[in-house]
Amino acid sequence: MTKVAVIGIGITQFGEFWERSYRDLITEAGINAIQDAGIDGIEVGALYVGSMSPGLFIGQEHVASLVADNAGLTGIPATRVESACASGGMALREAYLSIKAGAADIVVAGGVEKMTDVSTEAATDALAGAADQEWEAFHGVTFPALYAMMARRHMKEFGTTEEQLAMVAVKNHHNGSLNPNAQYRKPITVDEVMKSAPVADPLKLFDCSPITDGAAVVILASEERAKKLCDKPVWIMASAQASDTLALHDRKSLCRTEAAVKASKIAYKAAGVLPKDVDFAEVHDCFTIAEIMAVESLGFCEVGRGGKFTEDGETSLKGRKPVNTSGGLKAKGHPVGATGIAQAVEAVMQLRGEAGKRQVHDATVGLTHNVGGSGASCVVHVFQKEVR
């Protein structure tokens, strides 16, 4: 089977944009990606778009056709992929699989979410659709509350502290300040995080990723096309996915994202690498505790030591395992469906040496980790630099 490479990337600014629509955002990202890939639109064989809830955010379903239509790609097979916050990562995986299967040799994988056309309350309610409606949302549980319950368990079982959670936010805001596309570009302090308004104890406002508009697109190509079209193809060495129970209360452990453990194990095996070989990772920090659990689930540190790992600076830009160099969901922003693709864009930029002030030196292997809801789905990709 052919290898698959990323030959083009495109991303919009992330933020709150009154003047930019769903169509504006995805088209901008898509055109940038096609331009970056140096191909003609006519060469695109298929399109996969990740969008969690355009139905609730902009009243629109059937968005894959809309995206293709709007981008001048009418006619090609266009598919919307949905897995809550993992929609983007899953769209990437579907695009990857279609090339592996020989169904197409150049495929667009995009992600987009327009969250600010509805009120904050309505947006929060839409996001709650990722939880179990009958047995979690029905009882007044919010996403921050679900992750807060995991945090409380993590604190009880491993002694993780609220300050360590805050350090994740501080690091990511620092990285975000170096990312011109990030929603938040101002550094913050632990003290500011600790003093921010409580949302769902122990999580506070600055422990939570924001509501964001944005889009990101990557162009994937088969090995043969990539080698012809691209100087710096970035290879997708592994694409893995796993699922878990929808409701948090049905999970085997609240402190481990089992789906991430499973997916990353498969990905490491397929890519022929170990956790220690990963030079940087973009992980799903929808809440600070999620990043701590991610670095444990991905095997970057021992289970329970994620807080300490962060506190010791291991995950900072200059650390041994830079995590979320883009600023993560926390500072870069979290336009839900776009996130998984945005993570891939950052990974590719790092591996091409195009990450500017955020550059991880000598980065050869990167990993992206995209989670749906409270952990019911997880998609992990391993990217490798072209080695000549």
Task: State the residues that interact with other proteins by CB under 8 A.
Answer: 121-122, 124-125, 128-129, 132-142, 144-145, 148-150, 152-153, 156, 197-203, 247-250, 254
CA distance 309 to 11: 30
- What is the closest distance, in whole angstroms, from the C-beta atom of residue 200 to other proteins in the complex? 5
Under a CB-based contact definition with an 8 Å cutoff, are residues 323 and 306 in contact? no
H or E element, residue 382? strand 377-385
Under a CB-based contact definition with an 8 Å cutoff, are residues 160 and 154 in contact? yes
Q: What are phi and psi of 203, to 5 degrees?
A: -85, 140
Question: In this complex, which beta carbon is closest to other proteins, that of residue 262 or of residue 385?
Answer: 262
Question: In this complex, which beta carbon is closest to other proteins, that of residue 166 or of residue 248?
Answer: 248
> Can you read off the two tokens belonging to residue 201?
């104890």
Burial (0-12, 13-18, 19+ Cβ within 10 Å), 135: middle
106: β partners: 221
Question: In this complex, which beta carbon is closest to other proteins, that of residue 74 or of residue 133?
Answer: 133
Name the residue among 260, 261, 279 with its Cα closest to residue 379: 260
Asked about 334 being catalytic, the answer comes back as yes
Question: In this complex, which beta carbon is closest to other proteins, that of residue 156 or of residue 320?
Answer: 156
Cα atoms in the 13 Å half-sphere on the side-chain side of 153 = 16
> Can you read off the two tokens belonging to residue 292?
């701590």
- What is the closest distance, in whole angstroms, from the C-beta atom of residue 173 to other proteins in the complex? 20
- What is the closest distance, in whole angstroms, from the C-beta atom of residue 178 to other proteins in the complex? 30
CA distance 328 to 175: 8
Q: Which of 334, 369, 378, 381 is catalytic?
A: 334
Residue burial 281-319, b: 16+ Cβ < 10 Å; e: rest: bbbbbbbbbbbbbbbbbbbbbebbbbbbbbbeebbbbeb
- What is the closest distance, in whole angstroms, from the C-beta atom of residue 359 to other proteins in the complex? 37
Question: In this complex, which beta carbon is closest to other proteins, that of residue 200 or of residue 382?
Answer: 200
Q: Which of 85, 208, 301, 378 is catalytic?
A: 85
- What is the closest distance, in whole angstroms, from the C-beta atom of residue 201 to other proteins in the complex? 4
| Catalytic site positions | 85, 334
